[in-house]
Amino acid sequence: MMKTVFSILARRHARLTLVPGVILALVILCTVAAPGQDMRLTAHGMLTMDDGDDVTALAFSSKGTSLLSGDDAGAVTCWDLSRRVPLMTAHMENGVQFLSFLSNDQSFVAVDNAGTVQVFDPMKRTAVATFASRGKPARTTVDAGRQYLAVANTDGAIEIFDLKAMMPAGTIAAGEKVDDILFLGFDRLGQQLVAVLAYGDVHSWNPATLKPLRSFVLAGGELHGSRTVIHAAATNRATNVFAAALEEVAIPKGGIQGARDLERRAMLIAYDWSTGTELKRVKIPESVERMAMGPGNDHLAVAGDDANTITMVDLRKGETGSVVTMTEPPKVLAVADDNRWLAGGGSDGTVTVWSLQYKGDASVATAGTPSLAGRIRARGSTQPALTPGQPVKLAIVAFEAKGVSQDVADVAMSSLSNALANFDYITLVERRQIESILKEQQLQLSGLTEAQSVNVGKLVEADVILIGNAGKLGSSVVFSAKLISVETGKVLKGREVICEECRDQDMYDAINMLVSTIAQ
C-alpha cells in the first residue's frame, strides 16, 4: 500500500470555522498550480457528515450548484455548495454505493449495497420512489442523459431501469463477464454500456438491444510475460474516452531471489470508447486506487489507498500537476460536469471541496497539447437512421464543404463510406459508379440539388441516398447527413453532429459519431 502518490507541491493551513446548526469546517487551503500547469485549485470548504463513517459516494449537479454525499452507514446529504449547508438529509438501510442527480437536477437517485434504489426530491426533502434490484449490486451507473440506471449485480446480471418511467427497461445476462467488475459506465450517447474487470477484460453491450457489442483486453505491454491489474477506471458525461489505472506485474529476469520483489510498473492510460484503442499513456511512480475524470475530457484526479493527497494529471501533456491534501485518505473522488469543482470524501465522514480555475482558456488546445476529445455531441436524435438488420442499398452522393476546405468534406465522405461499408445489412454503391453517372449527366457535386441527387440514386438503383455537408460556424464544425428515399424523393431522416472548438484531431471523432447516428 502506498504512503503517498506524489510529493506535495504547496500547502497552506488555516483555522477551522464552525457554522451554527451545521457540522461544517471551512478549510482555507490553497494549492497553487505547478510550474507549466494550466490549473489552480483553491479549497472551498470541508463538509462533515453526522455519522463520521467512510464516505462512499459523491455526485455534483450538472450546474455545479449542489453536491451529494453518501456514507457507509447509509446517510445521504444534499449540499448547497455556495452556502455550504445541507439542503436535505436521508438515511438508507445499508451503506450507500451510488449517487447521481437526474435530469434537470430536480431529483436524485441513491442505491445502497443491498440493491435498494430510492429517488429523492430535495425540495420536498423526501423520497418520491423506491424499488430494488433483483441482486446485490457490484457496480452502478447512469447514462449521460441521467434517465437510465444500470446495476451490475453479483449474480451476473446487469439490470437497466428507466428512471423517468420508474420501471425496468431490460436485463443483460452478462454472467462471468461482470465477475470482479471494477467499473461500469455508459458512453456519452448512451449507445454502449461498458464493464471493466480487475484483470483488464472489457466487455460492452448495446443497452437498447441488450446484445453484446465487443470484448477486448487492456494491457500495459511494457514487461515481458506480465500480468495486468486494473486498480481504477473513470469517464465523464461529455467524453468519448475512458481512463484506467493499470499496474503491470512480472517476474524479473533471473526470477525472484532473496529479497528481490516482483517487477511492477504503474501507468494511467486513456482509451477510445468505440474501439478500445490507446490514446495516451502517462507513467506514474506508484499505482492509484481512486480516480475521477475531469476537468474536461483530458484531465484526471487520482489518489492512492493510504495517501492523504489528490493529484491532478494532464493527459494531453502527459504529466502530473497540482496536489491537494485531505485530513484523511480519500475514499471517493468526483469532478463536476461544469469543470468548476473537485471533491474528495474521506474515511472520517468529511467531504473536502476545491474550486478549479484555469490559468487560460481551458477549452482551447494548442498544437503542442492537443485535446483527447473536443466538445463533440449529436444534435437531435441519436437513434440509427437506418433500421439495424434491414437490408438497404445506399448511395452517398455528395458531401459538400461550407466554410471548411473541400479536403475536410472529402475526408468526411471517405471515412463515412468506409465505416458504413462494414455493416452487413448496408450495400454501398461504389464511388466510381456515382462519379460516372455524374459525368454522364454533366453534373457537378457542388450545388447538386436534392432532385438531381435522387435522380442519381435511381440511375445506380439505390434504395436510399445520403447527402452530407461539413460547415463551419465560428470555431465549431457541424457535420450533417440527410437520408432521402429514392422511390418517394422524401427525406427519411436527418442527423447532425457539432464539434465545438474543433481541432483537426477532433474531426474524426465527430465523423465517427455521425456514423453511429446513421447505422449501428
Are β-strands 85-91 and 96-101 bridged in parallel, bridged antiparallel, or unpaired? unpaired
Residue 382, in any domain of the structure:
yes
- What's this model's pTM, rounded to 2 decimal places? 0.66
Question: Of 295, 397, 235, 328, which Cα lies nearest the Cα of 38?
Answer: 295
| Angstrom distance (rounded) from CA 329 to CA 334 | 14
Q: What rounded mean pLDDT belongs to the chain?
A: 83
Give 333-351 pLDDT, tens digit per residue: 999 988 889 999 998 899 9
Q: What is the DSSP letter of 104?
A: G
| Mean pLDDT within 398-406 | 89
The domain tally of the chain equals 1
Q: Which residues contact 118 (CB under 8 A, 6 or more apart)?
A: 90, 92, 109, 110, 127, 129, 130
Q: How far is CA 369 from the centre of its chain?
A: 20
pLDDT of residue 239: 65
pLDDT of residue 28: 35
Residue 138, in any domain of the structure:
no
Does residue 40 surpass a pLDDT of 70?
A: yes
| Mean pLDDT within 159-180 | 93
Residue 501, in any domain of the structure:
yes
CATH number of the domain where residue 426 is located = 3.40.50.10610
Residue 419, in any domain of the structure:
yes
Task: Quote the cell numbers at residue 356.
Answer: 478549479
pLDDT of residue 289: 93
Residue found under cell 485535446: 371
Question: Of 73, 89, 67, which Cα lies nearest the Cα of 21?
Answer: 89
Is the separation of the CB atoms in 235 and 241 below 8 Å?
yes
What's the number of CA atoms in the CB half-sphere (13 Å) around residue 401? 10
Q: Compute the C-alpha angle 42/47/48, nearest 5°.
A: 145
Q: Which residues contact 163 (CB under 8 A, 6 or more apart)?
A: 102, 109, 119, 142, 146, 147, 148, 149
pLDDT of residue 38: 65
Does residue 99 surpass a pLDDT of 90?
A: yes
pLDDT of residue 36: 46
pLDDT of residue 376: 66
Phi, psi of 507, rounded to the nearest 5 degrees: -65, -35
Question: Of 116, 146, 147, 121, which Cα lies nearest the Cα of 133?
Answer: 116
pLDDT of residue 13: 30
Is the separation of the CB atoms in 295 and 362 below 8 Å?
yes
pLDDT of residue 16: 29
Give the least confident one: 32-36, 136-140, 240-244, 409-413: 32-36
pLDDT of residue 112: 97
| Angstrom distance (rounded) from CA 130 to CA 161 | 12
pLDDT of residue 428: 93
Residue 465, in any domain of the structure:
yes
pLDDT of residue 95: 96
Neighbour count for residue 458 (Cβ, 10 Å): 14
pLDDT of residue 198: 92
Give 269-325 pLDDT, tens digit per residue: 888 776 677 777 888 888 899 999 988 778 899 999 888 999 999 887 788 888 999
User: Percentage of residues in the chain with pLDDT exceeding 70?
Assistant: 84
Per-residue pLDDT band for 209 (boundaries 50, 70, 90) equals very high
Does residue 18 surpass a pLDDT of 70?
A: no
Give the least confident one: 14-23, 72-81, 91-100, 215-224: 14-23
Question: Of 125, 124, 123, 94, which Cα lies nearest the Cα of 111?
Answer: 94
**Which residues face 162 on adjacent strands?**
148, 167
Residue 424, domain extent: 376-518
Give 458-502 pLDDT, tens digit per residue: 999 999 999 999 998 877 889 999 999 999 999 999 999 888 767
Cα–Cα distances in Å, from 269 out to 38, 87, 107, 284?
20, 38, 34, 11
Residue 512, in any domain of the structure:
yes
Residue 274, in any domain of the structure:
no
Give the least confident one: 101-105, 237-241, 336-340, 359-363: 359-363
pLDDT of residue 375: 57
Residue 91, in any domain of the structure:
no
pLDDT of residue 6: 28
Q: What is the DSSP letter of 429?
A: P
Residue found under cell 458525461: 237
| Mean pLDDT within 97-111 | 93
| Angstrom distance (rounded) from CA 311 to CA 294 | 12
